[in-house]
Structure 1
Amino acid sequence: MLGTPFLLAAALLLAGCTAAPANPVQTEETAAATPAPAAEEAEETAAAPVLRELTPCTLDRYYKASAIDDSGQIFLTTIDLNDGRQRVACTKPGCAHTGPDCWAWLQDSTVGRPNKLELYTDGEQLYWVNLTDYGHYDMGTIDPQSSVFVSGLEGADAPPVEWLAGTPNYGGNFLQDNSYMDSHWFTDGETLWALINSNPPDETTGEQTFATTLIHFEPAPEGSFAPYTAQVVWRQVRDGSTGYAGLLDGQIVVGVQYPGPDTGSMADNYKNSTTELRVLGCDGILGEPLARFVNGDYKTQALVDGQWYTMAADSTDLQVTDLHTGESRTLCNLPEAAETFSVTPQFVYGGRLVVNLSRDAGDVRYVIDTETGAATTLPTTWAKDGAIPRVPVFYQVAGERCLMKVGSQDRMVTDMGQDGGTYTHPSSLSVYAVEDLGAYLDGDQNWTICDLLTPNGVF
């Protein structure tokens, strides 16, 4: 889902994962000890790769592993961002999409932990990333499996034999920690990069640590079984998290958290911790701090479209900082932020910054001109629990289109209990829609309700 600020990511203590590197791995300590190249060498050094983050979207479709009926089976599907229809991503002639013979069929283990399937695209290919998380399920003695399977945008030509056997290993066994938390995937136009966060236990004490690992996937030699070979470029294991903050000029920016005194309260510990923003180069070198701050001093910090947006805990002024020069200015004042528990800068579109404010009284969504600071509010369109005003929830933004949750429908469902008896309970059905993003930011609500295959209406 869009719009999670780095503040919340750090609060959840994001981290990374491991693998066996082919070459020496740059750590924070070794990077600091590595001398800068001589001027002559620097001139000969190739330009740093310019990265862009992969998403589950092309400009007109969103890829989703989904149930399509009540059978419990999972299939690769797409949601058309123009007409809102969900379709099975299968090109097999005459296929009924009822089981393993369907080219879009996915076994259960590829969509639910301890195995997790994530789908990404660069607009030309589809990357099926299978990740394992046995450690969080007390299955630490089982070797993890991980894979990167590549197909065209229409899906697989047929289910891979290794996939059906439950032992995929495309791209090498790059996930080793058995404690997967989250990841971000990038391309430089030719190769893949992944920043993976995990929280493996210390091998000696058993206490939780936090790891962040940058992995580079290079195309394997022609004729190889796997399309990519994986190499660990940088890895950091420490007692404070290192979370992804965003991209700056095509370079990964991370927030390195340094714990403060232990107060016995996780929330207070986070408030007392310090975070440094640093560029993590594709060469595995961690740059000097771009910014340093105590987390409890701010309601939000977020890197959006190359700009650093912050709001101090005792203020309602939204500040914007140029991380190249360090120059900061007040973009605008958001008076309703005084009553909020969450201020979330989400994205910039057409020179307009979208900021969400969450409070007990309901949501507020601002659309702010990034040059003038002029702010307008968009109307709430539905109510959580029938009472708390809500704005549409952005799930994906792709080019000029967006996929949003725009409401919920109350309903009663009947399930079978462990004793074999049935019971009826309320379970709301989510309502999703697609719309032109610019039109919505202008205040238009003439969206197209999605026609979904998934029976429970939940992504």
Structure 2
Amino acid sequence: MKFRTKITAAVVCLLALLLAGCTAAPANPNTTAETAEATPAPAVEEAEKTAAAPTLRELTNAADGRCYLQSRIDETAQIYLTALDLTDGQQRVLCAKPGCTHTGPDCPAWLRADNSVQARQLRILTDGAQLYWTWETTGEGAPGTQPYSAVFTSGTEGAPAPLVEWMNRAPDYCGVYQQDYACTDSHWFTDGENLWVFQRCEPKDETGQPCFPASLCRLVPNEDPNGPSYRAECVWRQDIGAYGQYLGLVEGKILFSRSLRADGTPARRDGDYENTCRELRLLSADGSCSPALQTDTYGVTRAAALLDGLWYTVPAGSDQLQVTDLATGQTRTVCNLPLAGDGEGIDLGPVYEGRLAVAIARENREDGYVVQLDDGTLTPRTATWAKNGVTPRLPRLYARAGDRCLLMVGTRDRMLTAMGPDGSTDTFDSPVFLWAVTDLDSWLDGDQDWQLCTILNPDGDL
């Protein structure tokens, strides 16, 4: 995303109050933000809502020293729920059934026969205390039908998977929270009691053009033991064409961007990027939205990331790494990066104990650096593998839980044989990735004495 990194003092004051320009959440899920803004709630009511808004924590696939993976465990295509221990690197089937051979639907950890051509996407997230199975519609639905989405919870040990009928549109597992078909991405949160989902979809409007509404829904535990697990309600609905993109959490509030044309109308996928402006806003769990923190046109920033509540950017045409404190509006230059041209890709993150990892993808290699954030000192990172045996690549962070992380650190050769349509066979090299676990601190120190993972299916990838 592209943003200017300077915030005016007036905007900062508005952010601190979260009053002016905020709108109440539309009661009707089909009501747009434009409609809601026509009748704003009184400022006092908005202040009370903001003060009482829950603090959100994001759910991920890793917590409490484990990373939860949907994985093949043998040469078959069947998918099981597994846990990879971030301490010893061992991958295990998450099944506590005595004597289970993990060979199909009789195994509690069995998920499905394969992961191809799914009309809905299954994700398994955790807060460290339990697992949250989310099932979301991704394809186009019939006119007038409600997209089917659901949530199931289970413990982290033994993992009793949802019943098969839950994945086949069973209504008893609740969570009809999705506002549109064609889900493109979603992010899940908890406030310690309720679940929340920020979701972006890509339905088509009346002219057949894709539009990009975003919504925030709350899922409240149902007190009726004979009813669904949760009751879902939409608390916020974005303007239907404004490209609502999730960026991260700032003090328990959702930082997101919305895109508009220069005339203020919703931006569509029409290629008119130079006339598209993007706003950075904060969304509270009660549905109140801050004024724009930043407003810029496409291409102003070549790299941006929200890390530990701070907004890091590299402006276009510049080699400066800048950081903005969104609470105060203060922006400073951290350091100058060794950039050669605007065509290079820049990846920022993670931040850990005052250090930031930066990767720069050049034409024939990938260079990495660790930035000491207090003084801007750069320390080079070492590439550990080579794409196609030629292009140097850095270790790639896949997941983290606390100070432990899962890295992709290299590849090993694997020969595959495929049969062509005429019955002939072809043997070719298809490398598989090598995975390792280590401390984040050690990784940023450049230490490569990590623990290689023991994968259940060594000839497959995680």
Superposed pair shares fold, TM > 0.5 = yes
Seen in structure 2, the aligned counterparts of structure 1 residues 417 and 170 have a Cα distance that, compared at 3 Å, is farther
Q: What is the deviation of 1:107? A: 1.7
**2:307 pairs with one of 301, 304, 307:** 304
Kept after mapping to 2: 8 A contact 1:145/1:169: no
Q: Distance in 1 between matches of 2:62 and 2:278?
A: 31
Q: What is the deviation of 1:232? A: 1.0
Cα-to-partner distance string for 1:361-408 (whole Å, 9 max, x where unaligned) = 311222112222222121111111111111011100211111011111
Q: Structure 2 counterpart of 1:61, which letter?
A: R
Cα-to-partner distance string for 1:157-210 (whole Å, 9 max, x where unaligned) = 3652523756465223223522111111111111111111111001x2111111
Q: Distance in 1 between matches of 2:27 and 2:76?
A: 47
Moved more, 329-338 or 67-76: 329-338
Aligned partner of 1:435 in structure 2 is 438
Seen in structure 2, the aligned counterparts of structure 1 residues 201 and 35 have a Cα distance that, compared at 3 Å, is closer
Seen in structure 2, the aligned counterparts of structure 1 residues 40 and 387 have a Cα distance that, compared at 3 Å, is closer
Is residue 28 of structure 2 the alignment partner of residue 24 of structure 1? yes
Which SS does the other structure have where 2:231 is aligned? strand
TM-score between both structures, scaled by the size of structure 2? 0.87
Aligned partner of 1:414 in structure 2 is 417
Q: What is the deviation of 1:303? A: 1.7
Q: Distance in 1 between matches of 2:255 and 2:340?
A: 27
Aligned partner of 1:65 in structure 2 is 70
Q: What is the deviation of 1:254? A: 0.7
Moved more, 334-343 or 363-372: 334-343
Kept after mapping to 2: 8 A contact 1:7/1:302: no
**1:151 pairs with one of 136, 150, 154:** 154
Seen in structure 2, the aligned counterparts of structure 1 residues 238 and 341 have a Cα distance that, compared at 3 Å, is farther
Moved more, 408-417 or 316-325: 408-417
Kept after mapping to 2: 8 A contact 1:90/1:103: yes
Q: Structure 1 counterpart of 2:195, which letter?
A: L
Q: What is the deviation of 1:94? A: 0.9
Q: Distance in 2 between matches of 1:294 and 1:284?
A: 26
**1:244 pairs with one of 239, 243, 246:** 246
Seen in structure 2, the aligned counterparts of structure 1 residues 171 and 140 have a Cα distance that, compared at 3 Å, is same
Seen in structure 2, the aligned counterparts of structure 1 residues 346 and 184 have a Cα distance that, compared at 3 Å, is same
Kept after mapping to 1: 8 A contact 2:213/2:237: yes
Which SS does the other structure have where 1:296 is aligned? coil
Aligned partner of 1:223 in structure 2 is 225
Which SS does the other structure have where 2:341 is aligned? helix
Seen in structure 2, the aligned counterparts of structure 1 residues 36 and 133 have a Cα distance that, compared at 3 Å, is closer
Aligned partner of 1:314 in structure 2 is 317
Aligned partner of 2:120 in structure 1 is 115
Seen in structure 2, the aligned counterparts of structure 1 residues 275 and 45 have a Cα distance that, compared at 3 Å, is closer
Aligned partner of 2:453 in structure 1 is 450
Moved more, 409-418 or 141-150: 141-150
Cα-to-partner distance string for 1:120-145 (whole Å, 9 max, x where unaligned) = 1011010011122122xx88798643
Q: What is the deviation of 1:286? A: 2.2
**1:80 pairs with one of 80, 85, 101:** 85
Aligned partner of 1:190 in structure 2 is 193
Q: What is the deviation of 1:46? A: 5.0
**2:173 pairs with one of 167, 170, 175:** 170
Alignment of 1:43-442 (within 5 A): 46-108=51-113, 113-135=118-140, 144-157=147-160, 159-160=162-163, 162-163=165-166, 167=170, 170-202=173-205, 204-259=206-261, 269-336=272-339, 338=341, 340-418=343-421, 422-442=425-445
Q: Distance in 2 between matches of 1:436 and 1:267?
A: 45
